[in-house]
Chain A
Amino acid sequence: MAEAFDDVRDLYQEVILDHGRHPRHAQRLEDFDSTAKGDNPMCGDRVQVWVKFSPDTTIAATGFEARGCAISVASADLMAETVQGRSKADTKAMFEAFREMARTGVCPACDAAMERLAPLSGVHEYPSRVKCATLPWHALIAALDGTKETSSE
C-alpha cells in the first residue's frame, strides 16, 4: 500500500527515513565546548546542538536532541556526520551552500564532502518544510558563534 506515496519519495528518500528513525548522533555530548538551541516558532520544532572542538579548532564531534519531524531529525544527523573534522569557516560555507540547495534543489557550490546531504534537496518542492531541514544548521552555527538561541524564522 505504501507505494501509493511514490510521489513523496523525492522528499522522503530511504536515507532520510533511515536517519529520521535511527539517528546516530542524537545525543547530548557529555564533554562539549559549545551548545545552542534552535526553535521554529511557527511549527514548534526544537533542536539543541552540542559541539566539541579538536585542539586545532576543527569540529571533533556534534550531538543533538531534536523534537521535530523526520526531515529535521535526519537533517541534524546528516549534518553531524558532514561537519566532523571541518573548521568553523568551512562549516559556515557549507551551511550557505546547503541552504541554497534546500531552497532551490540544486547546489553548484556543494563539494564532494556534501554529497551525503544531497537526499535533502527534495525539500525545495515543499516550501513549508525547508525550515525543517535548515533548523539544525541554524542551531549549529549559533553554537559555533557562541550565540545561545536561534530561530529558523
Chain B
Amino acid sequence: MTIPFDVARIREDFPILRQTIRGKPLVYLDSGASAQKPRVVIDAMVNAMETQYANIHRGLHWMSERTTDAYEATRDAVAALMNASDRAEIIFTGNSTGAMNLVAHSYGRGVLKPGQAVVISAMEHHSNIVPWQMLRDSHGIELRVAPITDAGELDMAAFEALLQDGKVGLVSITHMSNVLGTVTPAERIVQIAHAHGAKVMFDGSQAIVHRRIDVQALGCDFYCWTGHKLYGPTGIGVLWGRRELLEEMPPFMGGGDMISSVTYEKSTWAQVPHKFEAGTPAILEGIGLKAAIDYVQSIGYDAMAAHEAALTDHAIARLSAIEGIRIYGRAQDRGGVISFTLDKAHAHDVATLLDRQGIAVRAGHHCAEPLMRRLGLDSTARASFGVYTTLEEIDVLADTLNRVREFFT
C-alpha cells in the first residue's frame, strides 16, 4: 500500500523530529502517550503571547477582546471537528481526565440516583475507572464492568446482559483502547445502551487522533478527548455533551466565569458551556489547540487513517516475525497502538535498550492495571504512531528488538 501523503513533508512541520538522541535520530513511537507539536501550534501560542495576550471574557480592552475571539474560535473549530450541532455543547477541561471527572461529579451526583449503575469496560484507562469508583463510594452507584474477549474486543453479549435490569444510567467506554488499539463499535454500543435507557459517554482520547468523530452520527450523549494527543498543547481537553443534558446538570466547580450573579445568599449560573468553565482557562493552550485542529484538518482524517493503517499493518507483520514476541489485541477494527512483550526481556529493559538507540516507546501498565491483570501481565512495551511516523522507523524498531532479544538471551 502506498502512503497517500508525503510523510517527509509532514515531518518538516515538526521541529523536534530533527533532534538526535544520544547521537541517533529520534524515533518517536510514543504518540499514544502524547503527540509532538507542529510548528503552527508552537507559533500560534508564541504569537498570542507576543502580540495580544490578556485574560478573556472580562477585559473591556482590545487585547482581551482579541484573545477572547481567538479562544472562542477554538470552540467553533472543535464543534466543527466533532460535528456538534451547537457550539455551546463544547466544554473545555484540562484533559480527558478532567472531562470524565466533570461528568462523574455533575451528571453522576446531579442526575444519577443512588441504586443506579454505571457500566465501563475491561479495557479502560484509570481515568475512566477511578472517577466512577469515587462516585460509587460517595453516591451509592453500582459500578459494572463489561468483559472483553481474548481478541481484545468488547464482549457485546455480556455488555448487553449487564443492561438488562434497566438500572444502568450511564455507559462510559473507551472508543479506542490505549493498550490494545481496539476500536469499539460505538454505534452499536449506543443503540444497545439507549434501548435500555442508559446514556453513553465515550473516552475518545485515542480515537480522536485516528478517525473522524461525528457525535451526531454516533448518537452518543457525551464524548471527551484531550488536546495533547491531537498534536496540540497539554492542559486543554474537550467534553462534548448533549445540550439538554448539560442544561440539566449542576456545575462541577464554582468560581469566576461560571456565574450569572453572586450574592452571599445565592449565586446563579452562567449558561452552558460557561457554567462548567470556572476560573481563568488554559487560554494559550486553547489558541494552540485551534492551530492543531486546523493542521489535522489540512491533512485530512482519510489520509491520516490510511497512513496509520499502512503503518499498523507493516508493524504487525514486522513485529510478529520476531522470535518470542507476543502482541496483545487482535481486534478486527484497530488503530496504531501496539502492545507487546518479549519472552526473554522485561518491558522496562526493552524500553531502556530501545531508548539507547534513540527509540522512544512506553513501557509499564499504561494506566490500565485491571486490563493488565485480565491479560495476565504486569507490563508491556507499547509502540504508538502519529502522522509523522514512517515505515522505516518501524523497521528500525523491529531490527532493534531482534537485537534486544539477543542481548537478554
**Are both chains from one complex?**
yes
Least distance between B340 CB and chain A CB atoms (Å): 15
Q: A43-B364, A44-B378, A46-B378 are in contact. Are A68 and B346 (CB under 8 A)?
A: yes
Give the secondary structure class of B's interface: helix
Q: Is the CB of B378 within 8 A of A5?
A: no
Q: Is the CB of B406 within 8 A of A2?
A: yes
Q: Is the CB of B378 within 8 A of A8?
A: no
Q: Is the CB of A1 within 8 A of B364?
A: no
List chain B residues, Cβ under 8 A from A12. 349, 407
User: Within 8 Å of chain B (Cβ to Cβ): is A32?
Assistant: no
List chain A residues, Cβ under 8 A from B347. 69
Q: Is the CB of A68 within 8 A of B348?
A: yes
User: Within 8 Å of chain A (Cβ to Cβ): is B403?
Assistant: yes
Partner of A1, one of B346, B378, B403, B408: B403
Partner of B378, one of A2, A21, A42, A68: A68
User: Within 8 Å of chain B (Cβ to Cβ): is A17?
Assistant: yes
In the complex, A10 Cα to B372 Cα: how many Å?
31
Q: Is the CB of A7 within 8 A of B378?
A: no
> For chains A and B in complex, what number of residue pairs have CB atoms within 8 angstroms?
57
User: Within 8 Å of chain A (Cβ to Cβ): is B186?
Assistant: no
Q: Is the CB of B378 within 8 A of A67?
A: yes
Q: Which residues of B92-119 are within 8 A (CB) of A?
A: none
Partner of A69, one of B348, B372, B402, B404: B348
Least distance between A112 CB and chain B CB atoms (Å): 30
Q: Is the CB of A126 within 8 A of B352?
A: yes
In the complex, A4 Cα to B365 Cα: how many Å?
28
Q: Is the CB of B364 within 8 A of A69?
A: no
In the complex, A65 Cα to B403 Cα: how many Å?
28
Q: Is the CB of B403 within 8 A of A69?
A: no
List chain B residues, Cβ under 8 A from A71. 348-349
In the complex, A135 Cα to B357 Cα: how many Å?
27
Q: Which residues of B332-358 are within 8 A (CB) of A?
A: 345-349, 352-353, 356-357
Q: Is the CB of B352 within 8 A of A8?
A: yes
Q: Is the CB of A44 within 8 A of B22?
A: no
| Interface 1/0 per residue, A29-40 and B, CB below 8 Å | 000000000000
Q: Which residues of B357-372 are within 8 A (CB) of A?
A: 357, 363-365, 369, 372
List chain B residues, Cβ under 8 A from A70. 345-346, 349, 408
Q: Is the CB of A7 within 8 A of B379?
A: no
Partner of B353, one of A1, A5, A44: A5
List chain B residues, Cβ under 8 A from A44. 364-365, 369, 372, 378-379
Least distance between B404 CB and chain A CB atoms (Å): 8
Q: Is the CB of A69 within 8 A of B406?
A: no
Least distance between A71 CB and chain B CB atoms (Å): 7
| Interface 1/0 per residue, A118-135 and B, CB below 8 Å | 000000001001001000
In the complex, A129 Cα to B346 Cα: how many Å?
13
In the complex, A2 Cα to B403 Cα: how many Å?
6
List chain A residues, Cβ under 8 A from B372. 44
Q: Which residues of B373-409 are within 8 A (CB) of A?
A: 378-379, 402-404, 406-408
Least distance between A104 CB and chain B CB atoms (Å): 19
User: Within 8 Å of chain B (Cβ to Cβ): is A102?
Assistant: no
Q: Is the CB of B378 within 8 A of A45?
A: yes
Least distance between B402 CB and chain A CB atoms (Å): 8
In the complex, A12 Cα to B364 Cα: how many Å?
19
Q: Is the CB of B352 within 8 A of A11?
A: yes
List chain B residues, Cβ under 8 A from A42. 364
List chain B residues, Cβ under 8 A from A67. 378
Q: List 27 A-B contacts (CB under 8 A).
A: A1-B403, A1-B406, A2-B403, A2-B406, A2-B407, A4-B403, A5-B353, A5-B356, A5-B403, A5-B407, A7-B356, A8-B352, A8-B353, A11-B352, A17-B408, A43-B363, A43-B364, A43-B365, A44-B365, A44-B378, A44-B379, A45-B379, A68-B346, A70-B346, A70-B349, A70-B408, A132-B348
Q: Report which B residues bind A (CB closer than 8 A).
A: 22, 345-349, 352-353, 356-357, 363-365, 369, 372, 378-379, 402-404, 406-408
In the complex, besides A5-B403, A70-B346, 16 extra interface pairs with C-beta distance below 8 angstroms are: A1-B403, A1-B406, A5-B353, A5-B356, A12-B349, A21-B408, A43-B348, A43-B379, A44-B379, A45-B378, A67-B378, A68-B348, A69-B347, A69-B348, A126-B352, A129-B352
